[in-house]
Every structure is written in C-alpha cells, then in structure tokens.
Amino acid sequence: MEMQDCATAVLEWDEMLPAVAQGAIGIQCRSDDERSLKYIDALNHMDTHVCVNCERAFLEALDGNCKTPIAGQARIVDGQIVFRGLIAMPDGSVKYETEKTGAIEDAVKIGKEAGEELKAQAGDKFFEMMVEMSPQQVLGQLTK
C-alpha cells in the first residue's frame, strides 16, 4: 500500500506474529457463477492464496477459537513456503512455537503438521482450559 511513512513502527514477524490470515481479503460467490468467477480469478494473488491456505490448515488442526491466542504467518521465500505459528496463554506466560519450511505445493500439509505439533506439545488440557476458564484460572492450573 506504500504507506510505510504513516506507520509509527513496523513489527517484523520475529517480533509479533499476526492472527491467521490477518490482512487477507476473501471474496465469495456461487460456484456456478462463471461470470463472477472470471472477475474474482483476476483479483486473486496466488502467493497470498497459498499462504492463507497454509495458515487456515494450521488453525483447523488446532480447532482454534476466539478464546485461544493463536498466531500464524506463512510467507513464500526463495520458492519455498515458510510458516511460523504459535499458541499462547492469554497473558503470554506460556507459549508454544513452531517453524516449518517446505515446497509450496505442500502448504496445507505444512500448516496442518504445524498445528498438530503444537497441539501435541501443549496437550489437550491446554485447549480444554482455554474454553472453560478465565485466563487467571488457566494460568493457575498450568503452574500446578
């Protein structure tokens, strides 16, 4: 957007990951609407499409919800997809992170594997508590 001069700070992805698919614009239409599909296809940015699919596979593997701090970003670097993801306690006191790199055609697989890896690291208890308890209650349970 060429608006860098308006920003007070630019956060790099090693400083703070965004929410999954943050900033991506999605357009829907009927699958049999050939005319609309032709216009939409012209708007599609394939690299972004691939990255968002990777990120959404990550979120799906985690059964993500709005109570769970989940972040993830995929980028295409030197012809490969590079994905970083994390899950965390609401206060940031506990976090699990992963980074995966692979072929662009494996983007969905990479996102899914990253989500499964973090889910295994954190354990089912982590996610169950997020849904059922307040952040203070979750922290108390994890530190026992």
Structure confidence by residue, pLDDT tens digits, 121-141: 998 788 777 766 665 665 565
Q: Which of 26-35, 36-45, 77-86, 122-131 has the highest mean pLDDT?
A: 77-86
Question: Which range, of 22-26, 78-82, 96-100, 115-119, averages the lowest pLDDT?
Answer: 22-26
Predicted local distance difference test score (pLDDT) of residue 16: 84
> CA-CA distance, 3 to 137, in Å (whole number)?
42
Predicted local distance difference test score (pLDDT) of residue 68: 77
Question: Model's pTM, two decimal places?
Answer: 0.82
Predicted local distance difference test score (pLDDT) of residue 33: 96
Check residues 113 and 26 and name the one with the higher pLDDT: 113
Please, where are the H alpha helices in the chain?
Answer: 34-43, 46-61, 107-122, 124-132, 135-142
Residue ranges of domains in the chain: 13-23+49-142
Query: Who's near 135: CB < 8 A, 6+ residues apart?
Result: 89, 90, 91
Summarize pLDDT for 57-109 with one digit per residue, the tens. 999 999 876 667 899 999 999 999 999 999 998 777 889 999 999 999 999 99
β-sheet bridge partners, residue 99: 84
Q: 144 pLDDT exceeds 60?
A: no
50-84 burial, b for 16+ CB within 10 Å, e for fewer?
bbbbbbbbbbebbebeebbbbbbbbebeeeebbbb
CATH of domain 13-23+49-142: 3.30.160.40
Q: Token pair 């992805």 is at which residue?
A: 13
